[in-house]
Amino acid sequence: MASIFESAWTYLVTHYSDFQLACLGSFFLHESVFFLSGLPFIYFERAGWLSKYKIQTKNNTPAAQEKCITRLVLYHLCVNLPVMILSYPVFRFMGMRISLPLPSWKVISTQILFYFILEDFVFYWGHRILHTKWLYKHVHSVHHEYATPFGLTSEYAHPAEILFLGFATIVGPAITGPHLITLWLWMVLRVLETVEAHCGYHFPWSLSNFLPLYGGADFHDYHHRLLYTKSGNYSSTFVYMDWIFGTDKGYRKLKALKSVGDEAEVKQS
């Protein structure tokens, strides 16, 4: 298996420059993973498929969905791509490698675990700051235009927020200077996680059913339903920051009440 990855990577580094792989390759990979994982939830909502797993009964209008897609393409081309290009010298200065040999899976997994932990910490505080009155009104309210989120709304935000919270995603790799393949894997996992958190569906196979500290769609959907002063649930991937600082109390209380209600229904039936 390792030889297959090495052969594929040899082809890439032979046919493309480091700049092309790190900037254009990263952008293409991001766009592919993001839209391929996010678009299906638009069709699920429109067709009413898997509705029994939908967290909210309200649906977005086709016009609202199309507005989201149009803005996303604009933001990605005018914000994300330039950031990838401008950050390339920084990552190279911090030690990012592109050539062979590829890092071991032990190195990759250790670095990505570190990125998740650091990203959660930085994102939590950045997200809380965005929920202060002035920043919410002028910046973060754009993301909250969709009280009923769907997968693609995960990256629908004010350009200032894209830069502000994007720092949480890139700070770990910037510190460690990983191999590009580690950076790509981190980007893929982060995109899939945030799309799932905004998808609007809670499935029996959702990770939050198996990983106690994982937030997922049900946890983050609560955040979108409430007013900015009362929302809570500011965490990114895992929920330990909200638990430590008590900003998930409303969500936990609601879950407890729902559990009691479900038990009462079972007894009556």
Helix, strand, or coil (residue 238) = strand
pLDDT band at residue 5 under the 50/70/90 scheme:
confident
Query: Any idea where the domains of the chain sit in the sequence?
Result: 2-198
Q: What is the mean pLDDT of the chain?
A: 93
Give the global pTM: 0.93
- At residue 30's C-alpha, the angle toward residues 176 and 189, to 5°, is 60
215, two tokens: 């937030």
Q: Sign of the C-alpha dihedral, residues 14, 91, 235, 34?
A: negative
Return the ∠ at Cα 75 (arms to 70 and 137), rounded to 5°: 95
Q: How far is Cα 171 from Cα 209, in angstroms, rounded to an integer? A: 29
Phi-psi map region of 216: left, alpha, beta (phi>0 left; psi -120 to 50 alpha): left
Task: Give the distance from CA 133 to its chain's centroid.
Answer: 24
Residue indicated by tokens 């590829």: 102
Average pLDDT over residues 210-235: 89
The mean per-residue pLDDT over the stretch 88-96 comes to: 93
Which whole number is the average pLDDT over 162-167?
95
Maximum alpha-carbon separation in the chain:
68
Q: Which residue has the higher pLDDT, 230 or 260?
A: 230
pLDDT at 129: 95
If you average pLDDT over residues 149-167, what whole number do you get? 96
pLDDT range class, residue 266, cuts 50, 70, 90: very low
CA–CA distance, 122 with 204 (Å, rounded to integer): 30
Q: How far apart are CA 26 and CA 184, in angstroms?
A: 7
The pLDDT of 191-213, averaged and rounded, is 96
The percentage of the chain sitting over the pLDDT mark of 70, rounded to a whole number, equals 94
